[in-house]
Amino acid sequence: MNVGVAAHITAASVGGPRYDAFCGKEYRSSAQNGIWLCQTCAKLIDSDPSQFSKEILLDWKLVAEQFAFSELHQNYFPTILADDHSIRFAVDGWEMWKNRGNDPSDTVIFIDGWKKGNVLYSCKIRLRNDLPHDELLHSPLIEFHHGPDVIYSDDYPFNVQDIELPSKRWVTLDVDYGLHDIEIFKQADSVWFSVKTVGDNETHRWQVAKIDHTAVEFM
């Protein structure tokens, strides 16, 4: 008997459990915003959203997916930053679009600091510290790559220079920024997140997304 339920992590509509106004319509209905649970747990998480937060459900999902992946691929290991570090990385809600700007026919003018045609992007970066003690990272950057080469790096997408990672918990970084130079966008083929570990000051990178230039439209 199939007792599984595809539950929403953040509610599909206003007023629902764990509703997040910053999530787009497409994300709310996507598989990224879903978690497969039994009937009992699906009812439980929606009956007590204060205890079962979005972060907890994302944690459940990521741990389950990585465990399943490790079962299928015996040579799989979590992302290792150094011999004594074990920090996992995930990203969701990635979007990239060109700024529509203001047209003469607009009745309302928005001043947001971005010109028409600038490329904007947003996502949620998640880091989990699997160490038994708290960890500290610093100097987070969004990098645009062409192949293995870094063609542009930017610390403005982050409002912090230090990232505290409590033991055995996921931490979410909200990224909402863009590129003023369209030439960087034209040259880049991928976006990366880089950060340095406190102590050894080593730089470590994870790929956030590949850039599909044909799919980036005006919004």
Q: How far apart are CA 10 and CA 172, in angstroms?
A: 15
**What pLDDT was estimated at residue 18?**
92
Residue 184 belongs to a domain: yes
Total count of domains within the chain? 2
Residue 80 belongs to a domain: no
Positions in the chain short of pLDDT 70: 1-3, 66-85, 109-111
What CATH number does the domain containing 147 carry? 2.60.40
| Tens digit of each residue's pLDDT (9 = 90 or more) over 118-171 | 999 999 999 988 888 888 999 999 999 999 999 999 999 998 889 999 988 888
* Residues 98 and 148 reside in one and the same domain: yes
* Stated pTM of the model: 0.65
* Residues 91 and 154 reside in one and the same domain: yes
The CA–CA distances, whole Å, from 42 to 27, 38, 49, 178, 216 equal 20, 6, 11, 37, 36
Partners of residue 171 on adjacent β-strands: 127
**What pLDDT was estimated at residue 71?**
57
Within 13 Å, how many C-alpha atoms sit on residue 175's CB side? 28
**What pLDDT was estimated at residue 141?**
97
Q: Residue 120 is inside which H or E element, if any? A: strand 119-129
* Residues 124 and 205 reside in one and the same domain: yes
Locate all alpha helices (DSSP H) within the chain, ordered by sequence. 25-28, 39-47, 54-72, 182-187
Q: How far apart are CA 9 and CA 13, in angstroms?
A: 12
**What pLDDT was estimated at residue 66?**
64
Q: Domain boundary residue among 72, 98, 130?
A: 72
Locate all alpha helices (DSSP H) within 48-175, ordered by sequence. 54-72
Domain range enclosing 119? 87-215
* Residues 137 and 208 reside in one and the same domain: yes
Q: How far apart are CA 138 and CA 187, in angstroms?
A: 27
* Residues 9 and 37 reside in one and the same domain: yes
